[in-house]
Each structure stands twice: as structure tokens, then as C-alpha cells.
């Protein structure tokens, strides 16, 4: 099945408008319940105190998500699930926008060009520039209320994406893996709001979140993509927000966007909160490393559910932000 899309149009940019905010840091469940003592990991880089997220694309996304750096283009791509929209930003071209014919939750760059995508109708091949969207498989064709949400490529170039009840009423979301041979696998289920996944720097650990439970899981990951030993990695209280999309840096630390939390948190491989980066928006949604040296962190955000008073306080809700992270990310291996 091929679907047509509307042509894109350029967007403008705006200067930064950071805010200051005190934020409590919540240690991981591991530390709270005494299963070992977590010592301060002094070997980890600390983001400079003066480094703040800068808005680079004020696109007013309803539900911005799925940032991914495409190295061959030196460009950041992301989506607005509810728009729907697909965006591209580069220093050379600024911001471009396309309107796809269906809602897209996440994109993974494909080796032959274009993307593999998790959508409201399953896995697709997507080429937003050409307006081509071709169905691969729909693991949940009989679940009309479900859609794909967040997704990422692992270190071997496999695409992982989670589904969720779009009404957020039933815990009927699942995590799937799509291999380069286009065969999909059910990995885990029972999620209300799936987010992540993310993968450790050595490729042996996968992180995945149920945002509704405010809980990040860790799994052992083998060379063939099999997972085992699901365990709680870190959990958070309501007042700290809900862990959303995430990525891993070259030091093995996990960067997590916090929905309703006004911040990002950087967690050690043990689940300890190392640092909090304040955001000028209430609902950051996900993050990905990019730039020539992979030392810039790009952060998506949302404005869905915010009333006029809330938007007056955070006019940049829905924008794409960039942070000089002070640490590098890890290059993705393309799908295929």
C-alpha cells in the first residue's frame, strides 16, 4: 500500500528564552531500597552550569516526538504525532515540514535512504521528501485504538518501537522489534504508554519505559536481539514528572525527557540521577544526540493538553531545542 502526502513548507527560527527553576532530584529505586550503595560516579562528565536548551525550531508541535540524527545529511528529523507532521532541521537548510497521510510515532534512518517508521497503521517505509509511504506489516491490525509511539534503532540496526492505546485507557501497549529482513517480533506487552527504547553503549542492555507508571525498565539484550531479565531500573514520583523518550551517551549514561517535569535527567548506568537540566517547557518528550561531533542534544516537546494560561507561560511549548551537552552520543547504525 502506498499513500500520498502533501508537500512541505519552510518554518522560521527564533532566539532562545531559557528560564531558571529549582528541581528536586529523585534517586533510583535501587538506591532508595538499599540494594547496594551507589557512589558518586566522578568519572562522568557534568554538563556546564551555563549550558541551557536553546529553541531552534518553534514549530508549535502538538505532540513533538521521535528525534533522530541522520548523519549522511547532517540533519535532525522528528515528528508531530498529532499534527501529523514530519520535520527536518539542519544548519544549512533551517526547518522543513511535510504532512504525511497518517500519524507517525518514530523514524529510523534506512541504509538505502528514507526511513523505517512506526505509524498508526504499523511499520512503514517512509520517504517524506518524495511523499512515499509503503506498508511493511501491521502487528496490531485488529486493535483499532492502538498506534505506534516512540521507537529507536539499536546498535545492530534493528528497529524497536512500542504501541499504546491512543486513548490512554487500557494497558494494551506492546514493544516490537523489526529486523532488517522485515520480520517483526513481539518483545514485551502490558504497557499503558510505551516510550524509549534506548540502548547501552555496549549494546547489551535495553531500556524501555511505561510513562504512565513513571517506571524505566532495563533488559539484558543478546546479539540476536533477544531480551531477558526485565527489571526495574529507575522510578519517579508524580511531582517529578513522567519519564518519556530517552537516549544514551558515550559514557553509558541515560538522558531522559520528563513529561510534566520541565526537565531532562541524566542517569548513571546504575540508575542514579547525576544531573537535571531545566527546560522552558512543561512537556519535553524525547531527545537524541547529533551534530558533527555528536555532542549536541536535540530535544522535542509538546503543547497538547495545555490551556491558554499554560501556553502564555511557556510559549515555546512544541518547539525543538538544542543543548550543548558536554558529552558525545553514539552514532546510529542505519536500518537494513
- Known binding residue 150? Answer is no
Q: Is 105 exposed, middle or buried (0-12, 13-18, 19+ CB in 10 A)?
A: buried
Active site residues: 244
Q: Write down the pLDDT at residue 47.
A: 66
- Known binding residue 270? Answer is no
Residue 209 lies in a domain: yes
- Known binding residue 96? Answer is no
Mean pLDDT, to the nearest integer, of 92-112?
98
Task: State which residues form the domain around 314.
Answer: 51-324
CATH of the domain at 169: 2.120.10.30
pLDDT tens digits, 179-232: 999 999 999 999 999 999 999 999 999 999 999 999 999 999 999 999 999 999
Residue 302 lies in a domain: yes
Residue 15 lies in a domain: no
Q: Count of domains in the chain?
A: 1
Residue 122 lies in a domain: yes
Residue 330 lies in a domain: no
pLDDT tens digits, 131-157: 999 999 999 999 999 999 999 999 999
Mean pLDDT, to the nearest integer, of 262-267?
98
pLDDT tens digits, 234-247: 999 999 999 999 99
Residue 79 lies in a domain: yes
Question: How crowded is residue 112: how many other Cβ atoms within 10 Å of its Cβ?
Answer: 8
- Known binding residue 147? Answer is yes
Residue 180 lies in a domain: yes
Residue 297 lies in a domain: yes
Amino acid at each position: 500500500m502506498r499513500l500520498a502526502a502533501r508537500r512541505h513548507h519552510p518554518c522560521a527560527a527564533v532566539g532562545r528564552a531559557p528560564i531558571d527553576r529549582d528541581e528536586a532530584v529523585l534517586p533510583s529505586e535501587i538506591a532508595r531500597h538499599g540494594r547496594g550503595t551507589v557512589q558518586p560516579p566522578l568519572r562522568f562528565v557534568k554538563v556546564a552550569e551555563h549550558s541551557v536548551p536553546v529553541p531552534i525550531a518553534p514549530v508549535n508541535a502538538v505532540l513533538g516526538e521521535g528525534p533522530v540524527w541522520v548523519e549522511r545529511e547532517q540533519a535532525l528529523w522528528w515528528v508531530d504525532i498529532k499534527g501529523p507532521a514530519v520535520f527536518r532541521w539542519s544548519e544549512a537548510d533551517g526547518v522543513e515540514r511535510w504532512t504525511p497521510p497518517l500519524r507517525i510515532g518514530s523514524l529510523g534512518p534506512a541504509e538505502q535512504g528514507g526511513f523505517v517508521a512506526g505509524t498508526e497503521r504499523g511499520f512503514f517505509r517512509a520517504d517524506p521528501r518524495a511523499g512515499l509511504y509503503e506498508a511493511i506489516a501491521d502487528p496490531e491490525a485488529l486493535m483499532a485504538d492502538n498506534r505506534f509511539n516512540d521507537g529507536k534503532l539499536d546498535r545492530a540496526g534493528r528497529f524497536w518501537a512500542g504501541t499504546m492505546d491512543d486513548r490512554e485507557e487500557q494497558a494494551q501497549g506492546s514493544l516490537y522489534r523489526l529486523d532488517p529482513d522485515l520480520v517483526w517480533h513481539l518483545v514485551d506487552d502490558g504497557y499503558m504508554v510505551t516510550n524509549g527504547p534506548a540502548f547501552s553503549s555496549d549494546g547489551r542492555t535495553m531500556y524501555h519505559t511505561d510513562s504512565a507508571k513513571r517506571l524505566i525498565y532495563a533488559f539484558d539484550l543478546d546479539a540476536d536481539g533477544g531480551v531477558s531479565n526485565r527489571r526495574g531500573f529507575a522510578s519517579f514520583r508524580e511531582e517529578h514528572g513522567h519519564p518519556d523518550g530517552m537516549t544514551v551517551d558515550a559514557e553509558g549514561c541515560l538522558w531522559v525527557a520528563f513529561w510534566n517535569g520541565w526537565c531532562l535527567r541524566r542517569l548513571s548506568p546504575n540508575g542514579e540521577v547525576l544531573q537535571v537540566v531545566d527546560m522552558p517547557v512543561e512537556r519535553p518528550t524525547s531527545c537524541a544526540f547529533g551534530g558533527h561531533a555528536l555532542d549536541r542534544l536535540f530535544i522535542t516537546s509538546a503543547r497538547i493538553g495545555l490551556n491558554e494560561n499554560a501556553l502564555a507561560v511557556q510559549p515555546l511549548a512544541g518547539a525543538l531545542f538544542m543543548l550543548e551537552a558536554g558529552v558525545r552520543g553514539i552514532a546510529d547504525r542505519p536500518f537494513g
